[in-house]
Amino acid sequence: MIVDREKCIGCTLCKQDCIVSDIEMIDKKAHIRNLTCIKCGHCIAICPVKAVSCDDEDEYSMEEVIPYDKENFTIDADKLMNFMKFRRSVRLFKEKDVEEEKIEKIIEAGRFTQTSTNMQDVSYTIVKDSIQELRRVVLGTLNAMGEKMLANEDAPKQLLKYAHMWKGMYDSFIENPDGEDKLFFKAPLLIIVKAQNDIDGALASAKMELMIDALGLGTYFSGFFEKAASINPKIGEMIGLKEGEKIISCMVIGYPRVEYKRTVPRKEARITRI
């Protein structure tokens, strides 16, 4: 990070807001030492005179920086709450592709999500052309898991329903790969979120889901995919999982073939005050 000393007015706002204490005042001007800097960008965002910029344009382009204006940067709190309450997991999709520009906006929502120490450790696998092949491997893995559970007399009875379900899904796929799909529900798009830090990936997934809904699309998080991937390393290889990364979520995405009319009730929040 660098400071234009001609523009700097010595207000010290960047110094006060620097979480890693990497900014000092020299001759009443801000100076970034770049010793502990994590390039979080707080100094860029807070400077009232645009005196701070990034010295690494290849990775951090200042062209992406947008000045704040209230009309375009604020959301009514009640509308946002209703938007989140109305969100539904969608498993009925139209036979319609998701446009590339919408995919880019979904990824952008993840890219601009905060990460621990600005690691920016989240990566994404977009699956379109290989959904059927991925489905085959996932269902084969789930089928093997189901057979193992059914052969185990000590397997918890409440889990056996999943064993039967997985075997049925696999048998149905083998009989007719283009028939009923209870795994990805014939969605045209999967986005798999990977990260080194679980919270980083979870936050990115949550922000991406909001964008998905805002774009008129629907999604649900496939727990079956995550379960299969946790025991079959081939799935990780297929989606480009790198060393140190974990699969955080698999979002199944498409245009909804269903129209919801209202929100639904929820249990009261469990709160502890200390």
**Block means of pLDDT (10 residues each) for the chain, length 274 residues?**
93 95 95 94 95 87 91 94 95 96 98 94 97 96 93 84 93 94 96 97 97 97 96 96 96 96 95 97
Structure tokens at 122: 């989240």
- Per-residue model confidence (pLDDT) at position 268: 96
CATH number of 2-64: 3.30.70.20
- Per-residue model confidence (pLDDT) at position 156: 83
Q: What is the spatial distance between Cα 261 and Cα 86, in angstroms, rounded to a whole number?
A: 9
| CB distance 111 to 61 below 8 Å | no
Residues 6+ apart with CB under 8 A from 247: 192, 193, 194, 226, 229, 230, 236, 239, 241
Three-state secondary structure string covering 239-260: CCCCCCCEEEEEEEEECECCCC
Q: How many CB atoms lie within 10 A of CB 271?
A: 5
| Coil vs helix vs strand at 79 | helix
Structure tokens at 72: 């375009």
Q: Is 111 left (phi over 0), alpha (psi -120 to 50) or beta?
A: alpha
Q: What is the spatial distance between Cα 176 and Cα 188, in angstroms, rounded to a whole number?
A: 18
| CB distance 93 to 186 below 8 Å | yes
Closest CA to 123 of 273, 246, 267: 246
**Is the Cα torsion angle 233, 235, 238, 239 positive or negative in sign?**
negative
Alpha-helical (H) ranges within the chain are: 13-17, 42-46, 70-73, 77-86, 100-111, 131-151, 157-175, 198-214, 223-231, 233-238
Q: Go through the chain and tell me how many residues it has.
A: 274
Structure tokens at 179: 């028939």
Looking at residue 145, its amino acid is M
- CATH domain 75-274 topology: NADH Oxidase (3.40.109)
Residue with tokens 């999500």: 113
Q: Where are the domains of the chain?
A: 2-64, 75-274
Which pTM does this prediction carry?
A: 0.91
